[in-house]
Structure 1
Amino acid sequence: MTRVVLASNNPGKLKEFSASLAAAGIDMLAQGALGVAEADEPFNTFIENALAKARHASQITGLPALADDSGLCVQALGGAPGVHSARYAALADGTRSDAANNARLVADMAAHTDRRGCYVAVLVYVRRADDPRPIVVEGIWDGEILDQPRGSNGFGYDPYFYLPDLGMTAAELPLEQKNQLSHRARALRALLQAVRSEYAAPTH
């Protein structure tokens, strides 16, 4: 098994990534268990923030590292809330909660008829801190933004994230179905394919 540090202390992410990547011979360890503090995320793009987190964790531990950055991007808002998704309301009035973020999103969308949005997840895997060619994958989940919430299964913006093909919001989906369709699930599948190729035994 290859030991890889996850540049996060989120137990849910650790469980999800560990389950997916164990098949590729990867043993995931949370950075906190190795004494790594969270890295700064000063950038305006998902890929730059994920790369900064991965390099930070790898630099301190000497291990390969995996990091993610994700959020909601809305067409009519120029891609906002984007990398600020978790603190969208806090940028305006200091309030930080899912409810406050959703209230700001609804208010910002009030004047727009273009309701298109997408969840984005970027995963970055570095073999070492100065890896010149990190593995970078992206998962996109397209939908539309509602002005009224529907469903209670999700979190974050899920009650307002409508999936026209299914006629439901992300918060109305059964958890198992959501975990198959989500942006993070799509990125994880792409990462698993890339990592399997990376560690596949040579055929000659």
Structure 2
Amino acid sequence: MRRFTEKKLVIATHNAGKLREIAELLAPYGVEVVSAGELGLPEPEETGSTFVENAELKARAAAMAAKLPALADDSGMAVDGLGGLPGIYSARWAGPSKDFGLAMAKVHDALNSQNPGGEADRSARFVCALSLCWPDGEIITFEGVVHGELVWPPRGENGFGYDPMFLPQGSRQTFGEMDADAKHAISHRAEAFRKMVDALFA
């Protein structure tokens, strides 16, 4: 498998929380990171039907535009009681203003409306597909998953997205209550990242 030997990497995101997490995970490897947002690269339309397809689409677009290796993450929360939704539409549920308080309320309301008077299936998982693309078009993708359940009301101010309503298996804290190190130890993004580092950086 191709090794990553370059010193600069584009993170194909305009999401500040996602950029911060990926930059923290990359910090030990001496790689200079710059975001697609900082480079003024447009966000490509996410037309894929899976996390992997969308991650590869974003990585390829950024690598070709910047003429640098690019790392893209496509991730989201799949809720069993909603047939896997919001899934690849996780960010879109937050609307154009990226209001994840609204998105979490939508998930909660959808579960309640599907199970009137009953106990909804609140099991869920976070999924992450991490794609690294070189300017010559070669692309490698890794996936990570963390299982848990949803809580209401949301708890904690840390993390981003749906983190405050997601309680990972074996934990008493939601992702929103954990500090960054605790989340990095078990998250879906960290799992995909570990696989990538073992294959390309170690």
Length-normalised TM-score, structure 2: 0.82
CA contact (8 A) 1:17 1:28 kept: no
Aligned residue-pair number: 192
Relative to structure 1, the CA distance from residue 129 to residue 74 in structure 2 (aligned partners, 3 Å threshold; closer, same or farther) is farther
Structure with the greater relative contact order (CA < 8 A, sep ≥ 6): 1 or 2? Answer: 2
Q: Which letter maps to 1:109? A: L
Inter-partner Cα distance in structure 2 for 1:193 and 1:26: 15
Q: Which letter maps to 2:100? A: D
CA contact (8 A) 1:140 1:186 kept: yes
TM-superposition CA deviations, 1:61-106 (whole Å, max 9, x none): 222211111110111211100111122154xxx8851121111111
Q: 1:141 aligns with which of 143, 146, 149?
A: 146
CA radius of gyration, larger in: 1
CA contact (8 A) 1:159 1:169 kept: yes
CA contact (8 A) 2:156 2:176 kept: yes
- The root-mean-square deviation of aligned C-alpha atoms, in Å, is 2.4
Question: Percent of aligned positions with the same letter in both sequences?
Answer: 39
Inter-partner Cα distance in structure 1 for 2:23 and 2:188: 17
Q: CA deviation at 1:122?
A: 1.0
Inter-partner Cα distance in structure 1 for 2:153 and 2:39: 43
TM-superposition CA deviations, 1:102-132 (whole Å, max 9, x none): 111111112153221011111100123532x
Q: CA deviation at 1:29?
A: 2.3
CA contact (8 A) 1:14 1:28 kept: no
Long gaps (5+) in structure 1: 198-204
Inter-partner Cα distance in structure 1 for 2:41 and 2:160: 27
Q: Which letter maps to 2:149? A: E
1:156 maps onto 2:161 in alignment: yes
Long gaps (5+) in structure 2: 1-5
